[in-house]
Amino acid sequence: MLDTNVIIAALRSRRGASFALLELVGTGAFELVLSVPLVLEYEDAALRGRLALSARDIAAVIDYLCAVSLHQAIYFLWRPFVPDPKDDMVAEVAFASSADFLVTHNLRDFRRMPELGVAAITPALFLRKIRHR
């Protein structure tokens, strides 16, 4: 489960753990889980994120993520659960999919995730975990 800020960081720079994780999506290194609201949030954030990518490039990335990810329907909303209302959809997908990890740069807002049985961790820590399996 990747938070929007991880996707945006990966699209901003080819350096760092966020980009390394984005490169691993679809390779079997981990499963990415998405919901319709989360995909729309990824797209909205990327389009307003002043990236060095065209709208067409962003659409291609989003389309790829949708093609290789597990799709999770949300039947129960946990709102409000985290301080930022846009982050609630990330928490809901992580919980509904029984994700082990929610990967984010924003650990503070997701400090309650253990209550849902999900660990919030940074991209660098998640990358280390999947490389050492």
The owner of tokens 């949300």 is 74
Per-residue pLDDT of 21-55, as tens digits, reads: 999 999 999 999 999 999 999 999 999 988 999 99
The owner of tokens 């849902």 is 116
Q: Look up the CATH number of the domain holding residue 95.
A: 3.40.50.1010
Nearest alpha-carbon partner for 88 in 20, 18, 22, 41:
41
Domain that holds residue 50: 4-131
Beta bridge partners of 34: 71
Report the C-alpha gap between 51 and 53 in whole angstroms. Answer: 5
Per-residue pLDDT of 54-84, as tens digits, reads: 999 999 999 999 999 999 998 877 778 888 8
Q: What is the pLDDT of residue 4?
A: 96
pTM of the predicted model as reported, rounded to 2 decimal places: 0.94
Q: Considering its fold, how many domains does the chain have in total? A: 1
